[in-house]
Structure 1
Amino acid sequence: MVKFSGYSLISSFTPVHSVVLKSRRRLFLVKCCKNSTKSRGLSTCVQVDQLYTKGNMVARRYHRPLFSVAPMMDWTDNHFRTLARLISKHAWLYTEMLAAETIVYQKGNLDRFLAYSPEQHPIVLQIGGSNLENLAKATELANAYHYDEINFNCGCPSPRVAGHGCFGARLMLDPKFVGEAISVIAANTNVPVTVKCRIGVDDHDSYNELCDFIYKVSSLSPTRHFIVHSRKALLNGVSPADNRRIPPLKYEYYYALLRDFPDLKFTINGGINTVTEVKAALREEAHGVMVGRAAYNYPWQLLGHVDTVIYGAPPSGLTRREVLKKYQEYGDSVLGINGNNRPNVRDVAKPLLNFFHSEPGNSLWKRKADAAFQDCTTMKSFFEETLVAIPDSVLDSPVGEIPSGREDLFAGVHSLLPPPYDASEQEALYA
């Protein structure tokens, strides 16, 4: 039997943790590694496409991850992912980074951390940690929630991560451990395991050092897909915000990886803020694009175009009013489920605060929302008090024109590529 813990967005908003799904269809994946071959089951999915791993092609019921929303601590929670999925059916969604220790020590309260609605597929669980035993236990515990992939965090520069337990971006300095960690995760799950990393850390920022990391990790583990943030990480007290601003973007490193590791898959991340820029990256043959805060700050303008512009789906004609109606049902079904009045209306409404970005009435809507947080106890009453600020023409219009973006963001990038990576020494080491 399969247990989903979450809330249905289509047929009902009754919590489905009390519902037993009577059937489970399985697909099977043969993972080809250097030292072993395992048959692994994949959870039931949504739409047929192809996902490639080294040495074999896996039939999946999802579109490929041409577009994904980055894992963001305190941002990509269940509420935001619910909103994102209501707007886009095909974007790949990531959880916030969850420390393996959190999953292990909260095993009696896992729904709070791991539950999600079935409609959120395709969805990726990002795990962080540096203790192999806890990574194994956390993976086993997460299996009951049927995530579509597990992503191992080697990119977060936050002092909360890099300075506590020495994981996140700091792990790029220890690729041997990363390979071991991924192998431990992969041995305890039925789904692919990917890596999210930076192009370097502090002074270890040469292209050859990045390639050494990619080569060692892919040689020592079954991972064949890397999500690469095109900035290096600065770990010595530099804030996450400054890490997104100070280190320069080096897209040429990403595109050089495509050249030098043709048997691997790479998703590009960093500084890409519109669907126009996503298309520009794909036009230069990026395997996939991950967008971070822009998806949160402009959800309607960005996510509203993903299915049509990136995946070629016909326009849905979806309006903001329709999205909010469904989100209201979801929100009222989850208020207070964690006890102590959490989540409350403010928690659930947080992802909506940029929903009317740049539209008439947006400023008044935010002021009304701030006031409504003081006394509204349901999402229905919250919307009744606040949506009067937004014109019907805004609420009832489908997604508008594609926002402008830098179509030339990657122009000339191939002329900037560093010299090809020579893997001969690494091949001798790992032969």
Structure 2
Amino acid sequence: MNSAINNLRGAFFSHSILTCTYEKKSFIIRNRFSHQFKRFHSSMGKHLAHSSTNVNGEDLPQLFSVAPMMDWTDNHYRTLARLISTHAWLYTEMVVAETIVHQKDNLDRFLAFSPIQHPIVLQIGGSNLKNLAKATELANAYSYDEINLNCGCPSGKVAGHGCFGARLMYDPKFVGDAMSAIASNCDVPVSVKCRIGVDDRDSYNELCDFIHTVVSRSPTAHFIIHARKALLSGLSPAENRNVPPLKYEYYFSLLRDFPEIRFTINGGITCISQVKASLREGAHSVMVGRAAYNNPWNTLGQVDSEIYGASRIHFSRRQVLEKYQIYGDSELGKYGPNKPNIRQIVKPLLHLFHSEPGNGLWKRKADTAMRHCTTIESFLEETLDAIPDSVLDSTLPIIPPEEEGVFFDKTLLPPPYKSCQVPGLCVRV
């Protein structure tokens, strides 16, 4: 795929009314990224956020990505995801910089991945410049396609006790310096994942000040924007994903006010029809979180053909499981007894039959089998009779229908950002 996506415009599509049912009519979105990004620092141009990477001779832009999720997007999930979609960009779980530094003699356990997982992004967390730099240097040997800094996690363990994640949005100068340190120690593009604000620092101008400062102090040219603010006290991580209102107008205003920067939209997008609607409105790229984990077949199964325009390949979940079984049995005990164990390797499979006949029985049988099975092969033999052959052998679903509506309210777009609003905060280019 080497053609550029048309910059499609037209009617807005509603986040609230876009459904996730399927019909036969398909609509192919082509790669819209043909422009080159302005070099802010010519001496560090290699770190700019390229719109694509080359995988097996194919140019893959980062149109669709799966969000980094702690305890979810591990090696096992990413392997399953790649068996379903060859084009989606995958993000690791956040790996704390200190873990990498202190486990330098055991790095494979935390950083190694199969080459089939490309394109893949490593997300790092931390608030110590020296450790962030060293961790990046160590991770660079693993040939990730991008290094990302977590500035959006509101978890008490991360933003509270750890003093990083979303709390870093309070200190954009530090984030800029951290990104400079990260970029200086790797050979790939670097990016930041953040919220639109934190606590009462949630105005559009303050978000722009954050972006401006980070860009001014580093070669960062890609931001993943979770379109909700983070509340660092009073809400759980789950509540922080749902209670603060979505403000997509902030995201689309950033496209207007920072045309040299690439922005990925994240938050509240749960199916491919919504991904396509946001791309149609001009979003550079889209990141999907729990929908890609909780319903991988219906979500990831659409990505290659409907987002990237690849030919639809007809394969079944039975075929995916046959390949995953080979992978899983080769991984058992790789790093010592029960490291990983059956339960860890099976965990990503538990959502493969989301909303399908037999799904409930399959999960109950799986819970029992995980307690005594010693191989993935024996686990599947014991449990898959709960799923009808018609489900196991069915091929990928048809795309969601296109429904006209309003994806975001254009009347809510804030005025254009003109300059830094906080004296002493920003360093101007």
TM-score, with normalisation over the residues of structure 2?
0.87
Q: CA separation in 1, counterparts of 2:374 and 2:82?
A: 24
Alignment partner of 1:46 is 2:55? yes
Number of the residue aligned with 2:377: 380
Number of the residue aligned with 2:43: 36
Offset, 1:165: 3.3
Letter in 2 for 1:98: V
Offset, 1:32: 3.5
Number of the residue aligned with 2:414: 418
SS in 1 for 2:265: strand
1:134–1:206 CA distance, 2 compared to 1 (3 A)? same
Q: CA separation in 2, counterparts of 1:353 and 1:165?
A: 31
Aligned residues: percent identity?
68
SS in 2 for 1:127: strand
1:37–1:352 CA distance, 2 compared to 1 (3 A)? closer
Number of the residue aligned with 1:205: 202
* Residue 166 (structure 2) aligned to one of 165, 169, 173: 169
**Farther-moved stretch of structure 1 (225-234 vs 29-38):** 29-38
SS in 2 for 1:214: helix
Deviations 1:198-251 (A, max 9, x none): 000000000000010011111111001100000000001421001011100000
Number of the residue aligned with 1:391: 388
Q: CA separation in 2, counterparts of 1:144 and 1:237?
A: 40
Letter in 2 for 1:217: V
Number of the residue aligned with 1:264: 261
Offset, 1:340: 2.5
Asked whether the equivalents of residues 130 and 166 of structure 1 are also in contact (C-alpha less than 8 Å), the reply is yes
Asked whether the equivalents of residues 264 and 287 of structure 2 are also in contact (C-alpha less than 8 Å), the reply is yes
* Residue 340 (structure 1) aligned to one of 337, 340, 346: 337
Q: CA separation in 2, counterparts of 1:323 and 1:348?
A: 14
Unaligned regions of 5+ residues in structure 2, if any? Answer: 1-35
Asked whether the equivalents of residues 47 and 63 of structure 1 are also in contact (C-alpha less than 8 Å), the reply is no
* Residue 328 (structure 1) aligned to one of 322, 325, 332: 325
Asked whether the equivalents of residues 280 and 407 of structure 1 are also in contact (C-alpha less than 8 Å), the reply is no
Which structure is richer in relative contact order (CA contacts within 8 A, separation 6 or more)? 2
Offset, 1:397: 1.1
* Residue 297 (structure 1) aligned to one of 286, 291, 294: 294
Offset, 1:361: 0.8
* Residue 123 (structure 1) aligned to one of 116, 120, 123: 120
1:403–1:342 CA distance, 2 compared to 1 (3 A)? farther
Letter in 2 for 1:306: V
Number of the residue aligned with 1:86: 83
1:188–1:72 CA distance, 2 compared to 1 (3 A)? same
1:145–1:31 CA distance, 2 compared to 1 (3 A)? farther
* Residue 275 (structure 1) aligned to one of 272, 277, 284: 272
Number of the residue aligned with 2:357: 360
SS in 2 for 1:153: strand
Letter in 2 for 1:372: A
Alignment partner of 1:317 is 2:327? no
SS in 2 for 1:36: helix
Runs of at least 4 residues of structure 1 off by over 2 A? 29-45, 401-409, 424-429
Offset, 1:164: 2.5
1:420–1:108 CA distance, 2 compared to 1 (3 A)? same
Q: CA separation in 2, counterparts of 1:155 and 1:379?
A: 35
Offset, 1:45: 3.8
1:211–1:376 CA distance, 2 compared to 1 (3 A)? same
Letter in 1 for 2:416: P
Offset, 1:331: 0.3
Q: CA separation in 1, counterparts of 2:37 and 2:274?
A: 35
Q: CA separation in 2, counterparts of 1:237 and 1:136?
A: 33
Offset, 1:34: 3.8
Offset, 1:290: 0.2
Q: CA separation in 2, counterparts of 1:38 and 1:79?
A: 34
Asked whether the equivalents of residues 151 and 169 of structure 2 are also in contact (C-alpha less than 8 Å), the reply is yes
Q: CA separation in 2, counterparts of 1:294 and 1:44?
A: 25
Unaligned regions of 5+ residues in structure 1, if any? Answer: 1-28, 49-60
Q: CA separation in 1, counterparts of 2:37 and 2:184?
A: 13
Offset, 1:404: 6.0
SS in 2 for 1:316: coil
Asked whether the equivalents of residues 276 and 407 of structure 1 are also in contact (C-alpha less than 8 Å), the reply is no
Asked whether the equivalents of residues 263 and 283 of structure 2 are also in contact (C-alpha less than 8 Å), the reply is yes
Deviations 1:58-93 (A, max 9, x none): xxx531111000000000000000000000000000
Q: CA separation in 2, counterparts of 1:219 and 1:228?
A: 18
Offset, 1:311: 0.6
Q: CA separation in 2, counterparts of 1:122 and 1:84?
A: 12
Alignment partner of 1:220 is 2:217? yes
1:428–1:231 CA distance, 2 compared to 1 (3 A)? closer
Q: Counterparts of 1:135-154 in structure 2 under 5 Å?
A: 135-154=132-151
Asked whether the equivalents of residues 91 and 306 of structure 1 are also in contact (C-alpha less than 8 Å), the reply is yes
Letter in 2 for 1:145: Y
Offset, 1:144: 1.2
1:299–1:44 CA distance, 2 compared to 1 (3 A)? closer
**RMSD between aligned residues:** 2.3
Offset, 1:152: 0.6
Letter in 1 for 2:428: Y
Asked whether the equivalents of residues 45 and 121 of structure 1 are also in contact (C-alpha less than 8 Å), the reply is no
1:423–1:44 CA distance, 2 compared to 1 (3 A)? closer
Number of the residue aligned with 2:428: 430
Q: CA separation in 1, counterparts of 2:285 and 2:142?
A: 25
* Residue 303 (structure 2) aligned to one of 301, 306, 327: 306
SS in 1 for 2:77: helix
Number of the residue aligned with 1:4: none
1:138–1:231 CA distance, 2 compared to 1 (3 A)? same
